């Protein structure tokens, strides 16, 4: 990310500062850009040694997990396990055979004509043979245990050292990060300053806190007696692998890192209030019920209206709150698949948990379908296809989601181009799975359609509205078995 800060000098002259997030081309300082909020010379006094210690601990940890010693010990244990298992199997087979012979001998004694003395002597011999087999089994098990214990003890010692090393490395890493965070001096417009560690205390600050373009620019302006007037941050270059960034597009400051830094840095300045995220512009239209029966209903959700109220704001204006106000006896209403606040269109609501579960099963078994329509900013290559990109919440900005092949959940979207107009493309979208922001992320990501939904302030650019609408809904009614088909044309 790059940033530009418009500033005013004490004599009234207007100018600008420029900055970048993190490092650029492997460097913290580049002429013409705002420097970092720490002093590199002071950091160099402790950081190289701390990083070298962490590397050494990491290398030793690797040796304890994957090195020659644990590898050889695990191989030896596997060989012992196989050999002991074969020996034990051979002995049990021989003992089973002996047990069968003794059983036959007892049967002959029971049905044969032998004297009491002979029967007693024979039974005594058979008992001794049985006890001898049991003793032999115990001796073998004892010998196997002694052999295994030598290897297992060695592995246990390595595991104990590994656990101690992990604890030590974590502690050293925390200590080093604390020293790093204390080296960041964060000023504000009042002339005050605090460290990054103090701003996030008692929790440790997130990695990269204070390294974004905005804090660098504000800090540089304060140090030179300049008054900030306007700030903008934008992405330049190829999009990241996780998507959500496009060259030349402007983006708000991240919440996880800058959220704990910028409010303090802006103290003493007159600033505009932060816009409410995902809040649709203008008044929210009335809610229209398009289908209703004893078990479910379908509404045309207007843009700007929440599907469900927030967990901590149960009475906040939303589809559910309006439906409950419309019918106070409808206490079991459950939204089947919530729409984003700025997405309009068909929203399916169950009247009770059993109907909700049945509808969920319908979608899981492809006995229900949804079609969305969207305008995208950009020309989409090809005419139709299927996108399969796993996504997860962005831990650095909980408003957003991103593509993550390793930790993301499976997300599948079918698509088809229906119209092309200048630099924009109109598409139909069929979500085969249902994850938050799935359609928006799949549209914007370069491995998806590579064109964000028009008006998508999170993944693209601003516009009059988010051009995404749930246009059609088809499902087999869970109680009547009738196929219900509904359509609500997009208002754009």
Residues carrying an active site annotation: 340
CA distance 16 to 8: 8
DSSP string, 253-313: PPSSSGGGTHHHHTTTS--PPPPPTTPPSSPPPPPEEEEE-SSEEEEEEPTT-BSS-BTTB
CB atoms < 10 A from the CB of 325, how many? 12
Tokens 């002694």 locate to 146
User: Which of 48, 46, 62 has its CA nearest to residue 166?
Assistant: 62
- 466 Cβ contact list (under 8 Å, min separation 6): 280, 303, 340, 342, 343, 453, 454, 455, 456, 457
CA distance 70 to 152: 11
CA distance 450 to 455: 15
Structure tokens, 377 = 């900013």
Residue 351: half-sphere exposure toward Cβ, Cα within 13 Å? 14
CA distance 194 to 45: 21
């Amino acid at each position: 990310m790059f940033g530009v800060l418009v500033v005013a000098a004490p004599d009234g002259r207007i100018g600008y500062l420029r900055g970048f997030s993190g490092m650029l081309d492997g460097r913290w300082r580049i002429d013409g850009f705002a420097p970092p909020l720490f002093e590199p010379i002071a950091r160099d006094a402790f950081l190289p040694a701390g990083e070298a210690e962490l590397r050494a601990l990491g290398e030793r940890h690797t040796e304890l997990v994957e090195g020659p010693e644990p590898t050889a010990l695990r191989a030896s244990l596997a060989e012992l396990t196989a050999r002991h298992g074969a020996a034990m199997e051979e002995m049990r087979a021989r003992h089973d055979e002996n047990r069968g012979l003794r059983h036959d001998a007892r049967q002959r004694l029971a049905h044969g004509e032998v004297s009491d003395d002979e029967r007693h002597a024979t039974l005594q011999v058979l008992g001794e043979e049985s006890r001898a087999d049991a003793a032999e089994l115990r001796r073998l098990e004892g010998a196997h245990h002694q052999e295994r214990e030598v290897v297992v003890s060695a592995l246990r010692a390595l595991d104990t050292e590994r656990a101690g090393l992990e604890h030590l490395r974590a502690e050293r890493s925390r200590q080093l990060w604390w020293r790093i965070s204390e080296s960041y001096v964060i000023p504000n417009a009042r002339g005050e300053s605090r460290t990054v560690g103090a701003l996030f205390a008692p929790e440790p600050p997130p990695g990269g806190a204070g390294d974004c373009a905005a804090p660098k620019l504000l800090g540089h302006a304060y140090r030179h007696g300049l008054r900030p007037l306007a700030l903008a941050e934008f992405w330049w270059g190829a999009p990241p692998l996780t998507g959500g960034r496009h060259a030349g597009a402007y983006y708000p400051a991240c919440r996880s890192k800058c959220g704990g830094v910028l409010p303090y840095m802006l103290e003493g300045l007159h600033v505009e209030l932060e816009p409410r995220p995902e809040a649709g512009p203008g008044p929210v239209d009335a809610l229209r019920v398009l289908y209703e029966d004893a078990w479910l209903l379908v509404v045309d959700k207007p843009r700007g209206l929440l599907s469900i109220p927030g967990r901590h704001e149960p009475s906040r204006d939303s589809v559910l709150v309006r439906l409950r106000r419309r019918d106070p006896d409808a206490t079991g209403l459950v939204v089947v698949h919530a729409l984003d606040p700025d997405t309009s269109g068909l929203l399916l609501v169950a009247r009770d948990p059993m109907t909700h579960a049945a509808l969920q099963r319908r979608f899981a078994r492809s006995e229900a379908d949804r079609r969305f329509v969207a305008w995208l900013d950009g020309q989409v290559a090809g005419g139709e296809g299927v996108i399969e990109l796993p996504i997860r919440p962005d831990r650095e900005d909980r408003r957003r989601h991103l593509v993550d092949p390793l930790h993301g959940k499976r997300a599948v979207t079918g698509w088809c181009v229906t119209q092309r107009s200048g630099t924009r493309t109109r598409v139909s979208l069929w979500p085969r799975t249902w994850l938050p922001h799935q359609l928006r992320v799949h549209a914007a990501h370069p491995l998806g359609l590579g064109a964000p939904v028009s008006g998508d302030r999170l993944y693209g650019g601003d516009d009059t509205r988010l051009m995404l609408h749930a246009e059609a809904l088809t499902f087999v009614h869970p109680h009547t078995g009738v196929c219900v088909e509904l359509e609500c044309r997009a208002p754009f």
